[in-house]
């Protein structure tokens, strides 16, 4: 079946109603199954293991919709459940890492395709993040510390 949706940071697929939705390709840079003493379960089983900083193994302009939900923590113990479940960004390099993620997400999007970005601002405020990327969201919504932003792939016409 043709895949139209790319979840480039699938993790445990918590946000999906159907965790095996056949429209989607689920990507993460790791494979991991762990049941933590805290009761949290980490179950990361991507269809494709790929690291967006190294380039994802997909053709340009192949997806209608890209979901980008990167780690948002720069300060967290490597063994904390938050870091294990959601990953962690490098505190010095995070702007470059996030920028590469947007570039890679936009590369694989079809013209005028949609990129949905999720961000928790507990450690890095949204304006600081937006300063690092050459894309502007069309609109978004915030609930508590979590932002949902919608971008469109713009093309010269």
Tell me if 51 contacts ligand SAM by CB under 6 A: yes
- The region of 49-57, 109-117, 130-138, 149-157 touching ligand SAM under the rule CB under 6 A is 49-57
- Token pair, residue 113, equals 């395709």
Residue 87 touching ligand SAM (CB under 6 A)? yes
Q: Distance between CA atoms of 14 and 140, rounded to whole angstroms?
A: 20
CA R_g for the chain? 15
CB closest to ligand SAM, residue no:
11
Under rule CB under 6 A, residue 105 binds ligand SAM: no
Cα angle 91-46-11, degrees, rounded to a multiple of 5: 40
Q: Output the smallest distance, CB 141 to ligand SAM, in A.
A: 17
What is the rounded CA–CA span in Å between residue 39 and residue 96? 34
Considering beta carbons, is residue 119 or 153 the nearer one to ligand SAM? 119
Is-contact 109 66, C-beta < 8 A? yes
Positions touching ligand SAM (CB under 6 A) are: 9-15, 28-30, 44, 51-53, 69-71, 86-87
């Amino acid at each position: 079946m043709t895949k139209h949706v790319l979840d480039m940071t699938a993790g445990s697929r918590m946000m999906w109603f159907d965790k095996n939705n056949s429209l989607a390709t689920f990507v993460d840079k790791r494979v991991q199954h762990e049941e933590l003493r805290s009761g949290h379960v980490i179950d990361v089983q991507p269809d494709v293991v790929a690291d967006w900083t190294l380039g994802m193994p997909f053709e340009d302009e192949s997806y209608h919709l890209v979901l980008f939900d990167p780690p948002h923590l720069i300060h967290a113990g490597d063994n904390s459940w938050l870091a294990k479940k959601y990953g962690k960004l490098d505190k010095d390099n995070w702007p470059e890492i996030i920028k590469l993620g947007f570039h890679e997400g936009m590369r694989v999007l079809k013209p005028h395709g949609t990129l949905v970005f999720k961000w928790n601002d507990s450690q890095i405020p949204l304006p600081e993040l937006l300063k690092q990327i050459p894309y502007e969201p069309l609109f978004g919504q915030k609930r508590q510390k979590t932002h949902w932003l919608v971008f469109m792939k713009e093309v010269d016409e």
